[in-house]
Amino acid sequence: MATITVGQRLPNAAFPYVPYTPALDDLTACGTVAQYDIAKEWAGKKVVVFAVPGAFTPTCHANHLPGYIKNYDQLKAKGVDVVAVIAANDPFVLSGWARVEGLKDKIVALTDTGAEWSKSIGLSIDLSAKGLGIRTKRYAMVLDDLVVKHIRVEQVPSNVEVTGAEHLLALL
């Protein structure tokens, strides 16, 4: 599949995720997996979505997600309705990562099982040589009513040079 480009509409997807509830503030709670239907949730909205190769991995955990947490209010002030992070990890791992990072209901953590959806838009990567299997590339998009307005993809998976929150803020 060719990489999705500006002006294209995202393909439909229903991502597994664990929606935040106050019960999850107890770190021994696991929550319940639900489906997050982007056609329903993102219709008519401005969305910033970014993908990471893996929750709790060094660059994703220390350099990528923290910028979105830090700049969340600025993204909202620029008219962003939804901020979401996508990774190929299972929904319980993403929920755990979200709780460790204090995301609560601000940034939605979505599971791209086997990076199949990212593959369908040309944005998966085989990291089997590093023991990680098929993952999402490190990418970020600004969407308006599910149409790509801006897209950035890191050429080196361990870099956050064009997909960080500050880079997307400059595009809004």
User: Hey, what are 97's tokens?
Assistant: 């990562």
Beta-strand relationship, 82-87 and 46-51 = parallel
Cβ atoms of residues 128 and 134 within 8 Å: yes
> N- to C-terminal Cα distance for the chain?
28
Nearest CA-CA partner of 152 in 128, 170, 130? 170
**60 labelled catalytic:** yes
> What are the Cα distances from residue 110, in Å, to 42, 113, 115, 153, 161?
13, 9, 11, 18, 22
- In the set 13, 52, 60, 109, the catalytic residue is 60
Cβ atoms of residues 163 and 142 within 8 Å: no
> Would you name the residues annotated as active-site residues?
60
